Structure 1
Amino acid sequence: MKLPRIALCLALLSTLAHAAPLSKEHRILFFGKDDRVLERPDHMPWQTVGQLETRSQTICTGTLVAPDVVLTAGHCFVDEKGRFDPAVSFTVGLWGNEYQALSRVKEVQVDKAFLKGLIHKRDGLYIPPRIAPRDFAFVRLATPLGNRQGTIPVFSGDRAQLGQLLARQNWTVTQGGYPVDDQRHLRVHHACKATKLRDDGRLTHRCDTLEGNSGSPIFIIDAKGQATIVAVQSSAPPAARRKQEDNMSVSAPMFRQALQAFIAKSGKPARK
């Protein structure tokens, strides 16, 4: 299997305010057709999903899981030369040129084994399979936004329990974020399919994602409309391998314990 290349975060285009035409390769990246819809981030769980910007003006998607903590992907904070690229801000409620709240970032925690294990090549950084399940990160905000926007619980069971939950939900999940073709509006794929919970803790799925969706939440939404994060988006295969491979995310059992410890450092308990 070819290694996934770090390519799902993107340089922020400050002048891009509306949807741009999809390139041929972007269209191929979808599973059959583009099933995403625009979703205003003014209600749960979408009001907790926001846009992270790094020092180099790269963007990713993240979700409030505690008043001052955002969950996202680890590779969002590594540039193509392997240097650490810290987050500088997190914005929620982004819709066009308006947003609900913004905070600067105090701290970013990326798994050390993930950073150490990245492979450097001439055309960029690659994630070998042995560290791919560690592609997660936690961001601490200078201004807690969760008290106003709310927070989303993270699945607290083990891999076997997550498999049982997915089976009960008929392997139906929901994903949303801020993709390359529309950096100013939230785009969501409702009721997309998770396909396999791998032994290494990664969850494959067929939600329609593009660059910029790195770190976006994979939700299970129950019959009452309550959302739980079961994974975070990590990588997608290139267009040439779309028919052979699904998108890849990191399931909650891989990072739940580390996330709890990170939240506890701020003195604010995680949601049950």
Structure 2
Amino acid sequence: MSWRGLILALVACGASAAAMAQDTGLRRLTDREDVLGWEAVGRLELKGQGFCTGTLIAPELVLTAAHCVYGRDGMLRPAEQIIFRAGLRDGVAIAERQALQIAAHPGFDPHRRLDMNNIRHDVALIRLARPIHSHEADAFALHAARDYGQDISVTSYGMGRAEAPSRQRHCNFLGEQDDVMVIDCNVTFGSSGAPVFSQVGGRGRILALVSGGGSYNGRKVAFGMKLPERVAELKAQLRRNPVAPPGPRIKRIRVGNGSSSAGGAKFVRPEG
């Protein structure tokens, strides 16, 4: 495989930081039963400026592509502009959380087009204002072993299939160089940040994220990156720059004053 040819093809197609589509077996997860086990994959809403796909890797951490957390001006989006909707299906999410803190890998340059270096570092972590616990959505682990196995899949949202996740049960690993992977998974605009799973040993583990795509020898391909080292660096970045979650909003009921609307007691109730 000519890696120079692959990158030139990527640029020639004018691919932005989202991947291009191809027609292979992709199934919409329509019913609640279909979504079971995949609730940790969700749609990342970008305040009217499109969406990406994100995945829980801890109750309070969402993994996505770095280019998703930058605005068109190349500046990091304010956290309050990002909402994660876990397991979103036809307008109903398993859980919905506001972003609190964002860490984009410093090796990613939002002012440059995709190249090998940007794809390699196209990773971001979003810390949520409140965790999503395992009884709602069970977070996925990263794949750290050298053996990727034969069963690679992708679960994503995308243009034309934005209202429910779609899953391709099998796609092909085509090659790897300098921590950049090429796969032929079926992805499109909005699939940026989608998890590519390896099925080695039990439940799927996240092998890579969809970064960008293009065509090579008439074949549509998608690009991803190795994750463990990048994610460890992002977790350290979050720890170095902690942001306190918002405190509970307090509602007080005053002692009764004779009116029928007073509760006659005083208590506090967390909301949200």
Q: Which runs of 5+ in 2 are unaligned?
A: 1-6, 243-272
| Cα RMSD (Å) | 2.5
Question: Number of matched residues?
Answer: 226
Aligned partner of 1:187 in structure 2 is 166
2:139 & 2:116 partners in 1: Cα distance?
A: 31
The two structures have a TM-score, normalised by structure 1, of 0.74
Change beyond 3 A, Cα 1:244–1:193: closer
Matched, 1:58 2:68: no
1:30-179 aligned at under 5 Å gives the runs 30=22, 33-39=23-29, 40=31, 42-44=35-37, 46-86=38-78, 87-115=81-109, 118-119=111-112, 126-147=113-134, 148-155=136-143, 157=144, 161-162=145-146, 165-166=147-148, 169-170=149-150, 172-179=151-158
Where 2:193 maps in the other structure, the secondary structure is coil
The answer to whether residue 192 in structure 2 is matched with residue 237 in structure 1 is no
Name which one, 1 or 2, has greater alpha-carbon Rg. Answer: 2
Letter in 2 for 1:83: M
Matched residue SS, 1:212: coil
> 2-side partners of 1:249 and 1:67: how far apart?
24
Equivalent of residue 228 in structure 1, options 180, 199, 205: 205
Match of 1:252 in 2: 227
Question: How much has 1:251 moved relative to structure 2?
Answer: 1.6
Q: If each structure's helix is expressed as a fraction of its own residues, which one has the higher value?
A: 1
Q: Do the aligned partners of 1:69 and 1:263 also contact (CA within 8 Å) in 2?
A: no
Which consecutive residues of structure 1, in runs of 5 or more, have no partner in the other structure? 10-25, 120-125, 267-272
What TM-score results when the alignment is normalised by the length of structure 2? 0.74
Residue pair 1:154, 1:252 contacting (<8 A) in 2 also = yes
For residues 85-131 of structure 1, what are the alpha-carbon distances to aligned partners after superposition, in whole Å with 9 as ceiling and x for unaligned?
34521001211021211000001111123136x32xxxxxx123333
- Residue identity opposite 1:191 in structure 2: H
Which residue is 2:3 aligned to?
A: none
In the alignment, which residue of structure 2 is the partner of 1:219? 197
Distance 2:227 2:16 in 1: 21
Q: Mean Cα displacement is larger for which, 242-251 or 214-223?
A: 242-251
CA contact (8 A) 2:184 2:220 kept: no
Please say if residues 154 and 256 of structure 1, whose CA atoms lie closer than 8 Å, have aligned partners that are also in contact: no
**Deviation at residue 245 of structure 1 after TM alignment:** 5.8
